[in-house]
């Protein structure tokens, strides 16, 4: 179930804010020490331990506070590891290792035994009967490879830092008390917060957030306290139920992330046609400002205007993505959404903005889709977009020359004329049942060419089509028989 965070206004005085900041400083220091200890445990035992004995860790926090802190640290570390597990899978699936080795490595990864070598064999089970089909012994060198891979993912993704974390406090140290009925003058909530001084809690007055109150779901007994410049931010959490009145109207839609319109759906609908116009506009202003700052010897991050523009740009991207995806889901109510793994390259935008779209933009898209998954139960499938723009969605013929311009697609074999992005989105839809996601571009191309030629109809093409295929470098080495036939004919 999705857990949502909601900011709440408060009326905490300066003195109390000082006290909270002292706690926060100590909390962060303690978190760093706990994390160090947890990593030691991890490399020895293979997993973190939420209940590890931390009495020996020096801190001004009470033991209860330390426990709360440890829970938070461990949950952050666990989510870091689970992401690295996913990276591991990608690396292994993309490798040239043989199938048995792949299976052994994936088993080690699944059970997180990279470091403790606890597992001695990998058991391949039948998906349906759950019976063991094959047992493979796990050797020392398997562990060596597994460690090498997982360490490689560690290198690419820094360990989580606890220097600037906010506090996620449970009831042990922060109790939420709701206003008693009938006491009109009181605040809506009081948080009883333990401090660094034993037996001297402080009480934090908090206003209610109507939006939060009206949201169906269960309020969690957690308070999140963030630092915000001179102030403090109070956040409550709610566990939202799944929406039950979402009834799928469409089996599947597929979405292409394009350069003309942000999203193109396989039905032919284009969403976000103004998106790039707006981005280009912002991009120019920001690039100009950067150049002028550079002339003056000012670092961009020292400029308030630069920061403000960047913030606005991000906000725009985020709002547009969310708005358009909401529109799409409302319109089609799909059971399944197939979307490409974005690799953004728009030559009309600065490299900086391209990078921003690749990272930040894709993150927002993923978040929104995950939200659909959690709330409506929509299945989300990411596919490899390699060659989707050059393949004909009608006959499957793949050729660079099929793409006439940025917008126009015309198949050289079957003659189908179609908007290029609509064509791409249809190809994306077809890939949802194909394991191409883990393949390299080269492999994808090979698969597409073979698939095209495996259709006898395409193989025995008329002479005009043969000429086209013969002059297509993608098919070199795959259509020798064709070459002969074509020579024999002439």
Of 230, 319, 326, 223, whose CA–CA distance to 278 is shortest? 319
Q: Which of 392, 449, 453, 482 binds Zn ion (CB under 5 A)?
A: 392
Helix 63-94 × helix 14-45 angle, to 10°: 50
* Among residues 49, 71, 226, 394, the one that binds Zn ion under rule CB under 5 A: 394
Distance CA 298, CA 293 (A): 5
Strand pairing report for 231-239 and 218-228: antiparallel
Give the residue among 352, 364, 381, 267 at the shortest CA–CA distance from 324: 364
Smallest distance from Zn ion to CB 395, Å = 3
Query: Could you say whether residue 395 binds Zn ion (CB under 5 A)?
Result: yes
Where does this chain touch Zn ion (CB under 5 A) — which range of 171-179, 358-366, 372-380, 389-397?
389-397
Choose the stretch contacting Zn ion; rule: CB under 5 A; options: 245-253, 384-392, 439-447, 452-460. Answer: 384-392
- Residue closer to Zn ion by CB (options 265, 469) is 469
* Nearer of residues 212 and 409 to Zn ion, judged by Cβ: 409
CB of 423 to Zn ion, least distance (A): 9
Q: How far is the CB of 458 from Zn ion (least distance, A)?
A: 10
- Which residue's CB is nearer to Zn ion, number 212 or number 397? 397
- According to DSSP, the β-strands at 334-340 and 250-257 are parallel
Interface with Zn ion in residues 123-162 (CB under 5 A):
none
Cβ proximity to Zn ion: between 254 and 427 the closer is 427
Q: What are phi and psi of 167, to 5 degrees?
A: -95, 130
- Minimum distance between the CB of residue 415 and Zn ion, rounded to whole angstroms? 7
Nearer to Zn ion (CB atom), residue 42 or residue 387: 387
The Cβ of residue 378 has, within 10 Å, a number of other Cβ atoms equal to 20
From 112-120, 168-176, 198-206, 386-394, give the range in contact with Zn ion by CB under 5 A.
Answer: 386-394
Cα radius of gyration (the chain): 28
Q: Which is nearer to Zn ion, 298 or 460 (CB)?
A: 460
Cα 360 to Cα 358: distance, rounded to the nearest angstrom:
6
Cα–Cα nearest to 38, from 47, 26, 27: 47
Q: Which is nearer to Zn ion, 30 or 427 (CB)?
A: 427
Q: Candidates 163-171, 246-254, 296-304, 394-402 — which segment interacts with Zn ion by CB under 5 A?
A: 394-402
- From CA 425, how far away is CA 363, in angstroms rounded? 20
Give the footprint of Zn ion on residues 397-426 (CB under 5 A). 397, 411, 413-414, 416
Q: Which residues contact 455 (CB under 8 A, 6 or more apart)?
A: 396
Compute the distance between CA of residue 424 and CA of residue 338 in angstroms, rounded to an integer.
12
Minimum CB–partner distance for residue 105 and Zn ion (Å): 40
For 319-344, b where at least 16 C-beta lie within 10 A, e where not — what string? ebbeebbeebbeebebbbbbbbebeb
Closest contact distance (angstroms) between CB of 388 and Zn ion is 14
Residue 363: CB minimum distance to Zn ion, A:
35
Triad 335, 254, 282: Cα angle to 5°: 120
For Zn ion, give the closer residue by CB, 5 or 395: 395
Do strands 250-257 and 231-239 pair parallel, antiparallel, or not at all (unpaired)? Answer: unpaired
Q: Please tell me the count of residues contacting Zn ion according to CB under 5 A.
A: 8
What is the separation of C-alpha 302 from the centre of its chain, rounded to a whole number of angstroms? 30
Q: In angstroms, give the least distance from the CB of 397 to Zn ion.
A: 5
> Whole-number minimum distance, CB 465 to Zn ion, in Å?
10
The span of 100-108, 334-342, 391-399, 443-451 binding Zn ion (CB under 5 A) equals 391-399
Nearest to Zn ion of 133, 414 (CB atom): 414
Binding residues for Zn ion (CB under 5 A): 392, 394-395, 397, 411, 413-414, 416
């Amino acid at each position: 179930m999705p857990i949502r965070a909601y900011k709440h206004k408060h009326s905490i005085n300066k003195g109390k804010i000082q006290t909270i900041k002292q706690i926060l400083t100590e909390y962060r220091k303690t978190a760093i020490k706990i994390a160090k200890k947890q990593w030691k445990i991890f490399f020895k035992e293979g997993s973190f331990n939420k209940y590890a004995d931390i009495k020996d860790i020096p801190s001004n926090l009470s033991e209860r506070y330390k426990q709360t802190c440890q829970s938070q640290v461990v949950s952050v570390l666990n989510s870091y590891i689970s992401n690295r597990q996913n990276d591991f899978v990608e690396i292994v699936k993309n490798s040239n290792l043989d199938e048995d080795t792949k299976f052994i490595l994936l088993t080690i990864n699944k059970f997180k035994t990279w470091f403790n070598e606890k597992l001695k064999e990998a058991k391949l089970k039948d998906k349906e009967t759950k019976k063991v089909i094959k047992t493979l012994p796990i050797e020392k060198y398997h562990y060596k490879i597994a460690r090498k891979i997982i360490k490689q993912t560690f290198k690419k993704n820094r360990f989580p830092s606890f220097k600037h974390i906010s506090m996620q406090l449970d009831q042990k140290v922060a109790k939420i008390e709701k206003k008693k009925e009938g006491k009109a003058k009181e605040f809506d909530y009081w948080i009883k917060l333990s401090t660094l001084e034993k037996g001297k809690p402080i009480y934090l007055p908090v206003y209610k957030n109507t939006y939060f109150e009206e949201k169906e779901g269960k309020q969690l007994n957690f308070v999140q306290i963030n630092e915000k410049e001179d102030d403090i931010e109070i956040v409550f959490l709610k566990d939202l139920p799944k929406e039950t009145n979402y009834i799928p109207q469409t089996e599947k839609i597929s979405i292409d992330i394009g350069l003309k319109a942000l999203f193109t759906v396989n039905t032919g609908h284009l969403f976000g046609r103004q998106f790039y116009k707006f981005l280009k506009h912002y991009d120019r202003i920001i690039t100009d400002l950067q150049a002028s700052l550079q002339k003056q010897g000012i670092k961009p991050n020292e400029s308030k205007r630069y920061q403000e523009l960047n913030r606005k740009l991000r906000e725009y991207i985020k709002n547009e993505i969310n708005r358009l995806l909401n529109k799409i889901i409302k319109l089609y109510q799909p059971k399944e959404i197939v979307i490409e793994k974005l690799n953004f390259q728009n030559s009309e935008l600065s490299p900086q903005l391209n990078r921003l779209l690749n990272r930040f933009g894709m993150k927002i898209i993923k978040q929104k889709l995950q939200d659909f998954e959690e709330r409506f139960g929509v299945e989300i499938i990411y596919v490899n977009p390699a060659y989707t723009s050059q393949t004909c969605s009608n006959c499957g013929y793949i050729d660079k020359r099929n793409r006439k311009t940025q917008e126009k697609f015309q198949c050289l074999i079957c003659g189908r004329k179609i908007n290029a992005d609509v064509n791409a989105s249809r190809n994306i839809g077809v890939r949802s049942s194909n394991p191409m996601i883990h393949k390299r571009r080269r492999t994808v191309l090979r698969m597409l060419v073979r698939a095209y030629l495996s259709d006898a109809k395409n193989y025995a093409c008329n002479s005009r089509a043969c000429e086209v295929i013969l002059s297509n470098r993608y098919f070199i080495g795959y259509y020798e028989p064709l070459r002969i036939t074509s020579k024999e004919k002439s």
